[in-house]
Amino acid sequence: MTKLKLVDVNYTYSEGTPFRKDALRNINIEIEDNCITGLIGHTGCGKSTLVQLLNGLLFPTSGEVMFDGNNIKEKGYDLKTLRHKVGLVFQYPEYQLFEDTVYDDIAFGPKNMGLPKDEIDRRIKEAALFVGLEERYFEVSPFDLSGGQKRRVAIAGIMAMDPDVLILDEPAAGLDPIGREEILGGIYSYQRKRKNAVVIVSHSMEDMARYSDKLIVMNDGEVFMQGNCREVFSETDKLLSVGLDVPQITKFMRALKSKGIDVRTDIFTVDEAKAEILSKMGGCGNA
Amino acid sequence: MSVPFIKVEDLIFTYDDEDSIDKHYVLKNLSLEIEKGSFVCVLGHNGSGKSTFAKLLNMILSPDEGKIYIDGFDITNPDITEDDLFEIRRKVGMVFQNPDNQLVATIVEEDVAFGPENLGVEPSEIRRRVDSALETVGMSEYATHAPHRLSGGQKQRVAIAGIIAMQPECIIFDESTAMLDPQGRAEVMNTIAKLNSEQGITVIHITHNMDEAVKADRVVVINEGEIFLDGTPKEVFSNVEKLRRAGLDVPQVTELFYDLSHHGVDLPSDILCEEEGAEILSAWLKK
């Protein structure tokens, strides 16, 4: 079901000044529940502006943002509730922690929603489990944690609000391969259990190939491509034409094809590549 | 044989852990030599001790035990003077991870001038150095812009220009590409390679991005405070299993060749880039 819908949305920064900039042009997208949507594009393509429109931190210069069928710009629309239902984890959220203990920091959101104590407690424990944060850290000051752990605390804080739509802006940025997998894997299993809508903003095609169901590719303030992963990834040329980075293995399959080997080029994981190549080898009886 | 530019002997660095009697060893008995003019990548997962190692090299941190020589000069000598420290930090410059944390001025060229000004360089010479540094990093046209309006990659290049203007002999990049998007990353990597090849600056690049490590002359993998692997990129990345155990990835093409060789296909294990791999595999398939 569609949770959020953007209709003909435009957004312009600093209208009427020399710094005027069209950040978004003619955006029409739908964010559905029971789905992980990957939002991909260069820095400056409008991704971060777009996510801020999704929970009413910014309002479009023109066009409509609809949540559950209601226009959020309508007079009297309850924006506070909207922000409880559409949770946004900013980039580098580890810089936003402020409470004395990890537990209190995760509790901040649900507490402000006016939930009873035992429900808050239940949610904190559940969220901590998803992000892989052990309970022995609960009474520790968040400032004594490593960067990766702080980020888990910040993400858990939004998960504990149990939003209908969870948006994460570059949740794995700057982490090493294990850290990336733990964070993204945690978000994945959270979404599969809740069946809510999750939007992940990322630069990494490799990560999105693994974790998202649907992709929205932005370029220069516009929606450049959208569809399921296979549809988007089958058009490598189009992605490369706007300078988006495709996984190395995809470039490799293309290079192989250009050398006269008849292989598929819509491949984004090493396992797929291996299967494809082994099948070619089987064909010539060498393997 | 010439004296190595950096020589590190039996370096030990510990953090005190309040909760336990045991000291937490970040670096244990680390020894390493780095030749003048080389391009070395230091790899390791988060918490492996790689950033601590970097911060020891220009005495932002000082070791518990062990010796560090820069250009033959013992910087761990307890009698070191403030002037000596200034000189070490001029010789060994450092670019950090977050582009927003290291720019101090409100105009790009003033920011680049900050270092030489503090070294007491003549104004006319500062002018010359600033212009030449900005040209080297390809940011001349932004000389009079405000840093906060630049992209991440551009900010990092300004930070690099600020270091170059102090005429260092070595620059340490402490995960300077981690917070950048693919485009910004490529801009910074090209600048780093150029400084090394054209100006002969010794480069120590700390990263967990394998694709970047492939470009170096030498790769040093630090794991649990010790040197785990050390060699050319080809030598290091052919140890697929070992790298995985250290929580690191290998380039996707290397992984593919490794997997294929486990299926009884006789292929080299030190393939790093897609073109080289496609060449070899296509020849093999056409056999």
Q: Do A252 and B151 touch (CB under 8 A)?
A: no
Asked if B282 reaches chain A (Cβ–Cβ under 8 Å), the answer is: yes
Check residue B258 and report its DSSP letter.
H
Of the candidates B183, B259, B279, which has its C-beta nearest A43's C-beta?
B183
A238 inside domain: no
Domain harbouring A122, CATH code:
3.40.50.300
- Judge if A98 and A183 occupy the same domain: yes
The pLDDT score that the predictor gives to residue A165 is 97
Residues of A with CB under 8 A from a CB of B: 42-44, 92, 146-148, 173-179, 203, 206, 243-245, 247-249, 251-252, 255-256, 258-261, 270, 273-274, 277-278, 280-281, 284, 286-287
- Judge if A74 and A21 occupy the same domain: yes
Residues 6 or more apart whose CB falls under 8 angstroms from that of A228 comprise A213, A214, A215
Quote the minimal CA–CA distance from B14 to chain A in Å. Answer: 16
A84 inside domain: yes
Of the pLDDT bands very low, low, confident and very high (cuts 50, 70, 90), residue A27 is very high
Question: What is the gyration radius of the CA atoms in chain B, in angstroms?
Answer: 21
The pLDDT score that the predictor gives to residue B22 is 63
Q: What's the average model confidence in pLDDT over B145-158?
A: 89
B203 inside domain: yes
Chain B contact set for A180 (CB, 8 A): none
pLDDT by residue (tens digit) across B172-205?
999 998 878 778 888 899 999 999 999 999 999 9
Scanning B135-164 for CB atoms below 8 A from A yields 151-153
Chain B contact set for A179 (CB, 8 A): 45-46
Closest residue, chain B, to A254 (C-alpha):
B278
Asked if B184 reaches chain A (Cβ–Cβ under 8 Å), the answer is: yes
Q: Which 3 state secondary structure label does DSSP give A38?
A: strand
Q: What's the average model confidence in pLDDT over B133-140?
A: 93
A142 inside domain: yes
**Which 3-state string (H, E, C) describes B51-98?**
HHHHHHHCCCCCCCEEEEEECCEECCCCCCCHHHHHHHHHHEEEECCC
Phi first, then psi: what are they for B135, rounded to 5°? Answer: -65, -45
A58 inside domain: yes
Tell me how far apart the alpha carbons of residues B158 and B139 are, in angstroms, rounded to a whole number: 7
Q: Taking all residues of chain A, what is their mean pLDDT, rounded to a whole number?
A: 90
Give the range of the structural domain holding residue A164, as residue numbers without chain letter. 2-229
User: DSSP labels for A45-66?
Assistant: SSHHHHHHHHTTSS--SEEEEE
CB contacts < 8 A, A to B, total 104
Residue B221 β-bridge partners: B43, B229
Of the candidates B46, B183, B274, which has its C-beta nearest A248's C-beta?
B274
The pLDDT score that the predictor gives to residue B97 is 87
A38 inside domain: yes
Q: Do B46 and A277 touch (CB under 8 A)?
A: no
Asked if B181 reaches chain A (Cβ–Cβ under 8 Å), the answer is: yes
Of the candidates B97, B183, B248, which has its C-beta nearest A42's C-beta?
B183
The pLDDT score that the predictor gives to residue B236 is 94
What percent of chain B is predicted at pLDDT more than 90?
57
The pLDDT score that the predictor gives to residue A67 is 96
Tell me how far apart the alpha carbons of residues A262 and A280 are, in angstroms, rounded to a whole number: 8
- As a whole number of Å, the end-to-end CA separation of chain B is 47
Q: Do A177 and B208 touch (CB under 8 A)?
A: yes
CB A151 within 8 A of CB A132: no
Quote the minimal CA–CA distance from A114 to chain B in Å. Answer: 35
Residue A12 β-bridge partners: A22
B264 inside domain: no
Q: What's the average model confidence in pLDDT over A144-150?
A: 85
B44 inside domain: yes
Q: Which of A104-113, A180-189, A242-251, B215-224 has the lowest mean pLDDT?
A: A242-251
pLDDT by residue (tens digit) across B27-42?
998 999 999 999 999 9
Q: Which of A229, A257, A275 is the last residue of a domain?
A: A229
Mutation target for A interface from B43, B209, B248, B252: give the one with most A CBs within 10 A: B252
Q: Do B274 and A251 touch (CB under 8 A)?
A: yes
- Judge if A260 and A141 occupy the same domain: no
Residue B24 structure tokens: 């937490």
Nearest one of A159, A199, A158, A175 to A92, comparing CA atoms: A175
Residue A1 β-bridge partners: none
Quote the minimal CA–CA distance from B121 to chain A in Å. Answer: 36
Nearest one of B162, B229, B163, B155 to B202, comparing CA atoms: B163
CA atoms within a 13 Å half-sphere pointing along the CA-CB vector of B185: 24
Q: Do B181 and A176 touch (CB under 8 A)?
A: no
Chain A contact set for B211 (CB, 8 A): 248
Instruction: Extract the runs of DSSP E, i.e. beta strands, from B183-245.
Output: 202-207, 218-223, 226-231
Give the range of the structural domain holding residue B179, as residue numbers without chain letter. 6-250
Chain A contact set for B259 (CB, 8 A): 270, 274
Residue B224 structure tokens: 């649990």
- Judge if A151 and A268 occupy the same domain: no
CB B31 within 8 A of CB B88: no
**Which 3-state string (H, E, C) describes B85-146?**
HHHHHHHEEEECCCHHHCCCCCCHHHHHHHHHHHCCCCHHHHHHHHHHHHHHCCCHHHCCCC
Burial letters A141-154, b for 16+ CB under 10 A, else e: ebeebeebbbbbbb
Domain harbouring B73, CATH code:
3.40.50.300
Quote the minimal CA–CA distance from A259 to chain B in Å. Answer: 7
The pLDDT score that the predictor gives to residue A77 is 93
Query: ipTM greater than 0.95, yes or no?
Result: no
The pLDDT score that the predictor gives to residue A94 is 87
Q: Do A278 and B285 touch (CB under 8 A)?
A: no
Chain B contact set for A206 (CB, 8 A): 252
B110 inside domain: yes
The pLDDT score that the predictor gives to residue B20 is 56
User: Does residue A122 carry a pLDDT above 50?
Assistant: yes
Residue type, A46: G
- Judge if A163 and A201 occupy the same domain: yes
Q: Which 3 state secondary structure label does DSSP give A208?
A: helix
pLDDT by residue (tens digit) across A57-78?
999 999 999 999 999 999 899 9
Chain B contact set for A256 (CB, 8 A): 278, 281-282
Mutation target for A interface from B209, B256, B258, B260: give the one with most A CBs within 10 A: B256
The pLDDT score that the predictor gives to residue A285 is 44
A7 inside domain: yes
Of the candidates B97, B256, B275, which has its C-beta nearest A273's C-beta?
B256
How many structural domains does chain A have? 2
Nearest one of A212, A243, A209, A224 to A28, comparing CA atoms: A224
B104 inside domain: yes
Provide the H-helix boundaries in A58-204.
79-85, 102-112, 117-131, 147-159, 177-194
Q: Do B252 and A287 touch (CB under 8 A)?
A: no
The pLDDT score that the predictor gives to residue B285 is 85
The sign one gets for the Cα dihedral B82, B87, B90, B92 is: negative
How many structural domains does chain B have? 1
Tell me how far apart the alpha carbons of residues B210 and B253 are, in angstroms, rounded to a whole number: 11
The pLDDT score that the predictor gives to residue B21 is 59
Quote the minimal CA–CA distance from B97 to chain A in Å. Answer: 9
Closest residue, chain B, to A278 (C-alpha):
B260
Q: What's the average model confidence in pLDDT over B75-88?
A: 90
Tell me how far apart the alpha carbons of residues A266 and A278 are, in angstroms, rounded to a whole number: 16
Compute the C-alpha angle A185/A186/A191, nearest 5°: 100
Tell me how far apart the alpha carbons of residues A213 and A228 are, in angstroms, rounded to a whole number: 6
Mutation target for A interface from B17, B100, B181: give the one with most A CBs within 10 A: B181
The pLDDT score that the predictor gives to residue A287 is 41
Residue B176 structure tokens: 């300077």
- How far lies A24's CA from each of A11, A66, A72, in Å? 5, 17, 18
What percent of chain A is predicted at pLDDT more than 70?
98
Q: Taking all residues of chain B, what is their mean pLDDT, rounded to a whole number?
A: 90
Tell me how far apart the alpha carbons of residues A103 and A126 are, in angstroms, rounded to a whole number: 12
A234 inside domain: no
Tell me how far apart the alpha carbons of residues A119 and A160 are, in angstroms, rounded to a whole number: 10
pLDDT by residue (tens digit) across B224-270?
899 999 999 999 999 998 998 888 888 889 999 998 888 888 888 88
Nearest one of B9, B51, B15, B45 to B30, comparing CA atoms: B9
B284 inside domain: no
B261 inside domain: no
Quote the minimal CA–CA distance from B125 to chain A in Å. Answer: 34
